[in-house]
Copies of this chain bind each other. A is one copy, B any other.
Amino acid sequence: MNYLRNTWYMAAWSEELAEGALFNRTLLGESILFYRKTDTSVAAISNRCPHRFAPLHMGTLQGDCVRCPYHGLTFDSAGKCSHNPHGDGRIPKAAQVKAYPVIEQHLAVWIWMGDTDKADTSLIPDYAFLSAAKPTARNLGYLHTLSDYQLLTDNIMDLSHVDFLHPDTLGGGALSRVGAKLSELDGNRLGILWEAFDEVAPPAFAPHLPEPQALADVWTDVVWSPPASMYLSTGVAPAGGSDELAVTSANLHVMTPESENTTHYFYANTRSFLQDDIEYNRMLNEMLVGIFAGEDKPIVEAQQRLMGSDDFWSLKPILLAGDAGAVRARRILAGMIEQEQQAD
């Protein structure tokens, strides 16, 4: 499969990488070992020992190095073999695994899958809102999903689906009616603004407004960054009222391909209201799992099954108003991949 290589992919939530533990995740078809060094910074190296192809994540962490479980070759975080316990102990030149540029930022771990010398950390989207949020007003989630990652991107890029798939929580009927304003941003990014006035507030927000039954203004501002990161700024306010009365929520949805038809789906939610309410936070977490794992994931996985191994465009999808953002994102990404491959 053709992936964009020279880009940062989200590999994990920070909390998934415990100190002293070896963590394995396959990204873009490559099995990768993640672990924290003694200074707690994250290392990412190929998980496949070059000796006998045993998985290093089943081995032992020794300081900043990892020892292969099978015959004991030890590798450092740069992927170099630092110890060979066999015979005279000489280290073969080829005893080396790939090391990936990796950085932890705002509660997430990002990895660069392309040419190491092009890895520029300033290219990672700035999601400082995540680390800035109070823990009691923040929920992070992860879903392993049996679909191509672009189907999951499409799902977020066309939020009109909330009216049909999530009518009891996020939907209100407004988004599919009003449509969205698409804009091109710098850095190959896209903006999509969904905005509606004098509408019924979505069920998940209504109870937190001064007058839950009253008409409201609702909006979601989406920023897509290639290859598959989406930031959503959502708000609901009394119709025509002051923004001071708005309840708002900042969200992240990031898709990282595991293989051609399987995806690591990361999502996050923060909010402006009830920020110290631990019990509400827990209930909201359950609601988010219900929505993303219970409603989105089954539909997208069923979509993938019905598409089989056919290419998306070869099936000639009918395009509706809400598809503009998703289609534009697919085209930008395809262009970037093509450009990258021609440069090679």
Contacts and interface: CB of A to CB of B under 8 A. Distances in A.
Interface of A: 31, 47-48, 50-55, 58, 67-73, 84-88, 92, 94-95, 154, 158, 160-161, 163-165, 176-177, 179, 298-299, 302-303, 306-307, 315-322
A320 B54 contact: no
Nearest to A180: B87
Contact of A55 (B48, B179, B306): B306
A317 B53 contact: yes
A53 to B, nearest CB: 5
A164 to B, nearest CB: 4
15 contacts: A51-B317, A53-B307, A53-B317, A69-B164, A69-B165, A71-B160, A71-B320, A84-B320, A85-B176, A85-B177, A86-B176, A86-B321, A87-B177, A87-B320, A92-B319
Give the dominant DSSP class at A's interface: loop
Contacts of A71: 158, 160-161, 164, 176, 320, 322
B68 A322 contact: no
Contacts of A86: 160, 176-177, 179, 320-322
B298 A58 contact: yes
A87 B55 contact: no
Contact of A179 (B87, B92, B95, B298): B87
Contact of A318 (B94, B161, B321): B94
B55 A318 contact: no
Which 4 pairs across A and B sit closest by C-beta, in order of nearness?
A: A87-B321, A72-B164, A86-B321, A86-B320
Given A53-B307, A303-B52, A306-B53, A70 B164 contact: yes
B58 A299 contact: yes
A54 B85 contact: no
A271 to B, nearest CB: 26
B176 A303 contact: no
A70 B299 contact: yes
A172 to B, nearest CB: 13
Quick one: which of A67, A160, A164, A176 has the most chain B CB within 10 A? A164
A264 to B, nearest CB: 18
Given A54-B302, A69-B299, A86-B322, 6 more contacts: A31-B306, A51-B317, A52-B154, A54-B299, A70-B161, A94-B318
